[in-house]
Amino acid sequence: MKTVAVIVHWGPPQPTVDVAERLEACPSIAQVAVVANDGSPRPDDLPAATAWLRPPRNLGFGGGFLHACRDHPTAESYLLVNNDIRIDEATVRSCLDLLAGTNIGIVAPTLVNGDGLQSGSARLSPVLVAPRARRPPEDRPCEADWVTGAVMFIKAEVLARVPFDGRYFLGFEDVDFCYRVRDSGWSVVLSPSRAWHTGSTMNPWRGNAYYNVRNRLWFTRTRGWRLRAMLVAVTTATVVLPRAVAMDLLRGRGLVTSVLVRHGLLDGLGPLPPPGDPRIDEPRAARWTAWPQP
C-alpha cells in the first residue's frame, strides 16, 4: 500500500525536520510531504526526498492536509502526523496492516505521553460534547467513535469520498471527519501499537480558547444535535465565559481569553459557512489576540 505521510507545519523547523527524517527511514512510507502553513522557506537540513509545500495562505490543519493530498494523488493511503509525534516502523506497519482490512477507513495508534495514555478509544461526553479518552484493550484493536488527527492513517478512497472539512481551521476537524467516515459505512479503529506525543509546536495556543468554543458549536450544529448545541452554548455563556473572565482578572493579563471565548460563542452561533475551504479571514482569532509568528 503506497503511503504518503503528511506533516502540517507551523513554527520552528527543527521538530518537523526530525519527524521527516524518521519517517523517511520507515520502509512502509513511500513519500513524506510537509505543508508549511506559516509560509516559511524549505529548511536546509530537510531530507532531500521530502516535499516542502507552501500553500497560498494559512489553510489550517484540515485544509493543509488536503493541500498535500491533492499534490500526491496516487497514494493508496495517507498518514496525517503532527511534528511532535514519534512513531516507529513497527507501529506504522501494524496500522497499515489493519487499514488494509475490509471496510476499515481510519486507523490510529494508541497515543501516549509522559503521563501515560493521552488518546485512546475516544468518545464524546453525552451532553457537552467534550472529548474523552477511554483506555483501550492492550492486546487487540478496537473500534472508536473518533481518533485524534495528531496521528491518523486514512485510506485514499475514503478521503476521496469524505474529505476533511477545512472550515474548522483548527480543532474538531478530526472528530467531524471520523463521524462522517462512520456515517458512510467505514470503521474507525484504534490499534494497540503505540506512538508517543512529545509536545506541540504546530498548534498556536493563543487562539485555542476561540476555536474550542466555536468549533464545538459548529460540530454539534452540523450533526443536527440541536439540544446538545443549546446546552453547549448555555454552558459556555454561564460557566466557561465567567470563569475565563475571573482567570483573566486574577492573572492580570487583561481580558484576552474571555474575549476569545465570547467571540467563539458568537461565531459558533452565527451563520455556518459552507463546508470545504477555511474562511478567507482565518486565522480569525488573530482579530482579538496576537497570532504567533513563525
Domain edges within the chain: 3-197, 206-287
pLDDT level of residue 206 (50, 70, 90 thresholds): low
Question: What CA–CA distance (Å, rounded) separates 223 from 225?
Answer: 5
pLDDT above 90: percentage of residues in the chain: 82
Q: Is residue 204 over pLDDT 60? A: no
pLDDT level of residue 202 (50, 70, 90 thresholds): very low
HSE of 167 in the Cβ direction (CA atoms, 13 Å)?
16
**Helix, strand, coil share of the chain (percent; to 5):** 40, 20, 40
Is the peptide bond between 283 and the residue preceding it cis, with omega within 30 degrees of 0?
A: yes
Q: Is residue 203 over pLDDT 60? A: no
Question: Which pLDDT value is given to residue 137?
Answer: 78
Question: What CA–CA distance (Å, rounded) separates 131 from 118?
Answer: 11
103: exposed, middle or buried (Cβ count in 10 Å: 0-12, 13-18, 19+): exposed
CATH architecture of the domain covering 3-197: Alpha-Beta Complex (3.90)
Contact criterion met (CB below 8 Å) for 2 and 99: no
Residue whose cell numbers read 459556555: 236
Contact criterion met (CB below 8 Å) for 89 and 26: yes
Smallest Cα–Cα separation from 99: which of 122, 70, 73, 78?
78
pLDDT digit string, tens, across residues 233-289: 999 999 999 999 999 999 887 899 999 999 999 999 999 999 999 999 999 999 998
Chain-centre distance for alpha carbon 23: 19
pTM of the model: 0.94
Q: Is residue 292 over pLDDT 70? A: no
Q: Angle 165-76-45 (CA atoms, 0-180°, nearest 5)?
A: 80
Question: What CA–CA distance (Å, rounded) separates 55 from 15?
Answer: 20
Indicate the SS3 state at residue 131: strand
Question: What CA–CA distance (Å, rounded) separates 91 from 113?
Answer: 16
Segment 127-139 mean pLDDT: 81
The helix (H) or strand (E) run that includes residue 98 is helix 89-99
Indicate the SS3 state at residue 176: helix
